[in-house]
Amino acid sequence: MLSRVADSLFWLSRYIERADNNARLLREYFQSSLDTETRMESDLRQWEPLLRVSGEIDEFEAHYPDPKTEDVLHYLTFNRGNQHSIFSCIANGRANAHMVRDQLSSGLWEVINLAYHELKGLSKKDNEDEELSELLSYIQDASVQFQGLMDATFPQEDGYQFMQLGRFLERALGTVRTLDLKYHVLLPQGPIDVGGAVDTAQWVSILKACNALEAYHRLYLAEVNSPKVAELLLLKETFPRSLRYCLQSLDHYLRRLTGTHEGQYSNEAEKVSGKMLSDLSYSTIDDIINQGLHEFLVEATVRLDAISTSIFQEYMFLPTIDLNSEIQQQQ
């Protein structure tokens, strides 16, 4: 497979997964804000954590010196200058899909193309709260439809493996960032009553943003508390959005590309991915809490970025050709 095709399929899947992650997180945060007295305030206190965890707060403040709630919602949803906005994710995904249009089924292309034009049209309107909530639900549904069609219509060859790598790498990053949101929520407001009503409500919101609330109650049959939430989202090997499940999937699809047996590795991507999976497999939630949950999540983000870089270097990077050396080698 050509490296440019692998790159486009990898990033197509990543962008669709990122749009889904952002839509779920923004929808849950938006719904939670409707129940607070700060909903109509013009400062950043309630929205700062969401901007901070997305890494966009400095850029946002540079463009909006006197921000309002509507500015934040538009920036995270429609702003084309924000590369992490939902519109930018869908637009970038569509651009990558266009480059490999011959590889995709008509259904896959239609899902992406329709979502792009839907967002493009709505970006020119003033959206009410109800319309925004419906739009975020639509993006989630489009993502699920895309993933279902990918599994049902895309030949499970090398291209499929690259799409799955993009999907699970981005999902792992989304889970880590969503979980780390709890840390950023506490930063500007100081410590709160751990285990109290506000603390519990915030952990419930984290679970909802990861589509994990029902799974939590089925697995633990207990009230929501921080150690068990972290255990589910980081260590539970059977939950599809946990960090460990995503790493297991990354390891699986990397090995399918090369045919390498478990316990061995044939390139740097398999090495760094397998090492992170091994470390996580032997960790307990007590180990993570003792290290510091925020510190663990920061380290996990760095290691996931390293996996992304190694995949690019191994499969997609094209070194500059030295024509003189090439000529000598051919001669």
3-state secondary structure labels for all residues of 19-35: HHHHHHHHHHHHHHHCC
Q: Which of 125, 154, 183 is the last residue of a domain?
A: 154
160 domain residue, yes or no: no
As a dihedral over the C-alpha atoms of residue 32, residue 37, residue 39, residue 42, rounded to 10 degrees, the angle is -140
State which H helix or E strand residue 66 sits in: none
Cα separation, 273 vs 311, whole angstroms: 10
**Residues 42 and 188 reside in one and the same domain:** no
159 domain residue, yes or no: no
**Residues 170 and 290 reside in one and the same domain:** yes
Show the domain range for 234.
166-322
CA distances from 280 to 149, 245, 247, 276, 312 (A): 31, 10, 9, 6, 23
**Residues 86 and 123 reside in one and the same domain:** yes
**Residues 303 and 252 reside in one and the same domain:** yes
Q: What is the predicted pLDDT for the residue at 35?
A: 57
Token pair of 239, please?
A: 């939950």
Q: What is the predicted pLDDT for the residue at 264?
A: 81
The answer to pTM > 0.85 is yes
Q: Which residues contact 220 (CB under 8 A, 6 or more apart)?
A: 228, 232
**Residues 249 and 302 reside in one and the same domain:** yes
**Residues 176 and 287 reside in one and the same domain:** yes
Q: Which residues contact 328 (CB under 8 A, 6 or more apart)?
A: none
**Residues 311 and 177 reside in one and the same domain:** yes
Q: Which of 102, 119, 154 is the last residue of a domain?
A: 154
**Residues 149 and 180 reside in one and the same domain:** no
pLDDT 10s digit of each residue in the chain, 331 long? 688 999 999 999 999 999 999 999 988 877 776 555 444 444 456 777 788 777 778 888 888 887 787 888 888 999 888 889 999 999 999 999 999 999 999 999 999 999 999 998 887 666 666 788 889 999 999 999 999 999 999 999 999 999 999 999 999 999 999 999 888 775 545 555 666 777 888 899 899 999 999 999 999 987 899 999 999 999 999 999 999 999 999 999 999 999 998 878 899 999 999 999 999 999 999 999 999 999 999 999 999 999 999 999 999 876 665 667 666 766 6
Token pair of 62, please?
A: 């540079």
Q: Please classify residue 282 by burial: count the beta carbons closer than 10 Å to its beta carbon, then call 0-12 exposed, 13-18 middle and 19+ buried.
A: exposed
**Residues 130 and 254 reside in one and the same domain:** no
- Neighbour count for residue 191 (Cβ, 10 Å): 7
Phi-psi region for residue 55, left (φ > 0), alpha (ψ -120 to 50) or beta? left
256-259's contacts with Cβ under 8 Å and 24+ in sequence apart are 256/161, 257/158, 257/161, 257/162, 257/315
